[in-house]
Amino acid sequence: MLHLTVASTGSQHIVAALEAPNQHYLTQGLPGAHSKIGYNWGVGEHWGSAVRLHHDMLIECLTVLRRRFDIPASRCALVGFSQPVGLNYRFAASHPSQVRGVIGICGGVPRDWEEDKYQAVTASILHLARDEDEFYPPALSTQFADRLRSRASDVEFHLLPGGHRFPSKAKGIVEPWMARVFGV
């Protein structure tokens, strides 16, 4: 994700990538010598603790980066692909002073987004969905912009061709959005 994010945002930015804590095999069947490993943030049964861990890890990472590079929260953004998208939206609505922007790629809006436990989102949001996404099909994803606007005043939504993959044309959308939001 680090290389894909840098390719989308540009190399002039400081980019840190958090690896989800839960390991799993990406290949079907029994694991073997060539099995690939992936990482996820958790499953429904323990979702509350997964959300808390995600928030704790982000707060720690943002604190370290801001201190190390002397940057304010108003210069920080979160970028997520798939599962972390909803987690990042939860973070922005739970800790509104921590980031200025959130970019969600091929992910969803939290099911509990409309509940009172979240605050108004002060961050600008860019959401990129795909028209052949098998996990977030257009019938679902085209509703995300309106749902996000229930908490955030600055929401930009794009439906791009393709399946559940990081879009190769993301840079053409992300860079202008970052220039508008961050003045870069």
pTM metric for this prediction:
0.91
- Architecture category of domain 2-18+73-182 in CATH: 3-Layer(aba) Sandwich (3.40)
* Angle value at C-alpha 94, between 91 and 100, nearest 5 degrees: 60
Tokens of 72: 């304010």
- Segment 93-102 shows an average pLDDT of 97
d(C-alpha 103, C-alpha 117), whole Å: 22
pLDDT digits over 25-78, tens only? 777 767 777 778 777 777 777 778 889 999 999 999 999 999 999 999 999 999
Residue 136's identity, in one-letter code, is Y
pLDDT of residue 29: 67
